[in-house]
């Protein structure tokens, strides 16, 4: 093959018809194979998935009392209503993507076992021997724990869970878009 190419470049008359046709055949075969390879990989990239769309509507803001934590497990979203406003948490563990669960007390077993729990940098809350129980999230896969505001404090999770965009839709209900990640200071005032 290589010698045939060299001969073709030097002087095509030095090449026999037979080896030219053989070379053209192999070139065509190679090109067709490469195209088929591309097609067979490209086909496996879906152009449409039928997954749940990232944006959805929850209830009207009045349905969420101040200080409440509401887990919408089907959407993997948490709506927290604090005195200074609403914010939504994407309920996806930042370790490896499982769904953490909400518990009224995620700290007292650790406190009583003697481990010190760091202060929540956002709320300033800290579990102490005197007041060991704080609500939050525990991940069932590898035991990561988060405070109620999604800040991680225990286990392999490397960072707080993402906050996602929340607004009041035109019909008065809360509108949450899981594809838009917002700052940790984001609050929706209603």
Partner 1 sequence: MRVIRAAIDEMYTVIGQMVGSVFRHGLPLTDKIAARTALTNFVLHIHPVRVRRSWIRMSYTLCLGGLSFFLFIVLTVTGLYLMFYYVPSTNHAYQDMRDLQFVVTFGGLIRNMHRWAAHAMVITVWLHMARVFLTGAYKKPREFNWGVGTLLLLITLLLSFTGYLLPWDQLSIWAVTVGTNMAKYAPIAGPYTRYLLIGGRVVGDNALLRFYVLHVVGLPLVGFLLMVVHFWRVRKDGFSGGL
User: Looking at beta carbons only, is 12 or 40 nearer to partner 1?
Assistant: 40
User: Looking at beta carbons only, is 50 or 158 nearer to partner 1?
Assistant: 50
Least distance (Å) between residue 104 CB and partner 1: 40
Least distance (Å) between residue 33 CB and partner 1: 13
The Cα 162–Cα 18 span in angstroms is 66
The Cα 37–Cα 136 span in angstroms is 50
Residues in the site for partner 1, rule: CB under 8 A? 39-40, 42-48
Q: What Cα–Cα distance (Å) separates residue 70 from each residue in 28, 39, 91, 120, 171?
A: 62, 46, 11, 20, 21
Least distance (Å) between residue 36 CB and partner 1: 10
User: Looking at beta carbons only, is 35 or 190 nearer to partner 1?
Assistant: 35
Least distance (Å) between residue 79 CB and partner 1: 32
User: Looking at beta carbons only, is 3 or 44 nearer to partner 1?
Assistant: 44
User: Looking at beta carbons only, is 18 or 42 nearer to partner 1?
Assistant: 42
Least distance (Å) between residue 118 CB and partner 1: 47
């Amino acid at each position: 093959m290589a010698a045939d190419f060299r001969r073709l470049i030097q002087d095509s008359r030095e090449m026999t018809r037979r080896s030219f046709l053989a070379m053209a055949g192999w070139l065509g075969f190679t090109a067709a194979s490469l195209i088929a390879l591309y097609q067979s990989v490209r086909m496996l990239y879906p152009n449409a998935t039928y997954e749940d769309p990232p944006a959805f509507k929850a209830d009207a803001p009045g349905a969420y009392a101040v200080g409440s934590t509401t887990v919408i497990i089907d959407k993997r979203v948490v709506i927290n209503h604090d005195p200074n406003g609403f914010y939504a948490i994407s309920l996806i563990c930042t370790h490896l993507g499982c769904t953490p669960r909400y518990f009224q007390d995620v700290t007292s077993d650790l406190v009583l076992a003697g481990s010190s729990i760091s202060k929540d940098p956002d709320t300033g809350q800290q579990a102490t021997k005197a007041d060991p129980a704080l609500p939050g999230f525990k991940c069932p896969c590898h035991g990561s724990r988060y405070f109620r505001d999604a800040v991680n404090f225990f286990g392999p999770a490397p960072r707080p869970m993402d906050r996602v965009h929340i607004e009041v839709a035109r019909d008065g209900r809360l509108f949450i878009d899981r594809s838009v990640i917002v700052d940790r200071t984001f609050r929706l005032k209603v």
